[in-house]
């Protein structure tokens, strides 16, 4: 499985990698630190799943999702963000994302999203 | 204790190297915020930096939540609220806002110096929160629900 993590925080990247590696030991995971870099990485790496933070420099998470959709890049989008306004959350969910996860991204959430990614449970 | 008594609720042991990453990155972000706030003070407005400051404080909040460092998470949430409302032109007291953010920066630097001890900083934490709430109330702005 190929996973791309796009988050401007190194700490957040490391946290998500560590918890996902517990679930997907053989996964190939790469990172990007802003939306623009994330978009380029997405085109080249062609991840099965992309984890996206919303507040990022250069290109924010919402813009990145729009770019992925507009360019018909086939990847499942998982948004990981700290509390945001309900309207923004609804808007993002309506953009066809696979799942929206509220930070903190912890082991419990990592286990649940992994089950979803493996198709063991439905959302 | 500032909050509930209890063990660390994060997924990481307190001696896990990921704490070093958190401290390193947070200190770097605080330095960046400080430079921007001082610049805002000079210009008497937050126009150029309000979005970046909001994003940076939001990052600190999210990371502190991951490590279950409640006081940093909650204070960051309050500061983010404050700066968010500059975005909406509801809070305009530039010098007061700048002063509060600088106090928030000092508080966090102190806490990061000794993450195991939040007892000694309880008074400062409460004072900053009260200042934020007071300033917002004076401007008829109400805080979002706490995290």
Arithmetic mean of pLDDT, B65-71: 94
Q: Tell me the β-bridge partners of A31.
A: A5
Q: Considering chain A, what percentage of its residues have pLDDT values greater than 90?
A: 85
Residue A58: left (phi > 0), alpha (psi -120 to 50), or beta?
A: left
B109 Cα to chain A: minimum distance (Å): 17
Q: Report the mean per-residue pLDDT for chain A.
A: 94
- pLDDT classification of B5: cutoffs 50, 70, 90: very low
* CA-based nearest distance A1→chain B, Å: 24
Q: What are phi and psi of B12, to 5 degrees?
A: -115, 140
Q: How far is CA B87 from the centre of its chain?
A: 17
pLDDT at residue A33 tops 70 = yes
Chain B residues touching A107 at Cβ < 8 A: 11
Decide: A62 and A94 in contact? Cβ < 8 Å.
Answer: no
Say yes or no: A12 contacts chain B, CB-CB below 8 A.
yes
Round to whole Å and give the CA distance between B80 and A34: 20
**Which of A13-17, A52-56, B42-46 is predicted least confidently?**
B42-46
Alpha-carbon distance B45 to B41, whole Å?
Answer: 7
Closest-CA residue to B66 (of B108, B21, B109, B120): B21
Q: How far apart are CA B33 and CA B29, in angstroms?
A: 6
The answer to whether A8 faces chain B, any CB pair under 8 Å, is: yes
Q: For residue B85, what pLDDT band results from cuts at 50, 70 and 90?
A: confident
Provide the token pair at A9.
Answer: 């925080």
State pTM to two decimals.
Answer: 0.90
pLDDT at B147: 61
Put simply, the answer to whether A104 touches B18 (Cβ < 8 Å) is: no
From CA A6, how far away is CA A112, in angstroms rounded? 20
% of chain A at pLDDT higher than 70: 98
B11, B18, B77 ranked by CB distance to A14: nearest: B18
Band the pLDDT of B77: cuts 50, 70, 90: very high
Query: Residue B139: pLDDT above 80?
Result: no
Does residue A11 register a pLDDT over 90? yes
């Amino acid at each position: 499985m190929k996973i791309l993590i796009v988050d401007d925080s190194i700490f957040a990247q490391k946290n998500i990698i560590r918890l996902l590696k517990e679930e997907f030991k053989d996964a190939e995971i790469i990172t990007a630190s802003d939306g623009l870099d994330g978009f380029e990485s997405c085109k080249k790496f062609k991840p099965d799943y992309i984890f996206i933070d919303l507040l990022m420099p250069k290109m924010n998470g919402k813009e990145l999702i729009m770019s992925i959709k507009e360019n018909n890049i086939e990847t499942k989008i998982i948004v990981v963000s700290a509390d945001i306004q309900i309207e923004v959350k609804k808007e993002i969910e309506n953009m066809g994302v696979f799942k929206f996860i509220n930070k903190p991204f912890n082991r419990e959430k990592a286990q649940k999203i992994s089950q979803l990614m493996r198709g063991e449970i439905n959302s | 204790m500032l909050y509930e008594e209890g063990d660390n609720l994060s997924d990481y042991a307190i001696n896990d190297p990921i704490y070093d990453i958190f401290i390193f990155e947070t200190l770097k972000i605080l330095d960046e915020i400080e430079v921007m706030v001082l610049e805002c003070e000079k210009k008497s407005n937050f126009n150029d930096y309000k979005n970046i400051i909001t994003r940076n404080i939001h990052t600190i909040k999210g990371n502190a939540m991951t490590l279950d460092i409640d006081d940093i998470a909650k204070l960051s949430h309050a500061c983010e609220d404050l700066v968010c409302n500059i975005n909406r032109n509801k809070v305009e007291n530039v010098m007061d806002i700048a002063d509060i953010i600088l106090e928030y920066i000092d508080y966090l630097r102190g806490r990061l110096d000794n993450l195991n001890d939040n007892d000694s900083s309880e008074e400062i934490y409460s004072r900053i929160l009260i200042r934020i709430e007071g300033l917002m109330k004076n401007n008829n702005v109400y805080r979002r629900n706490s995290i």
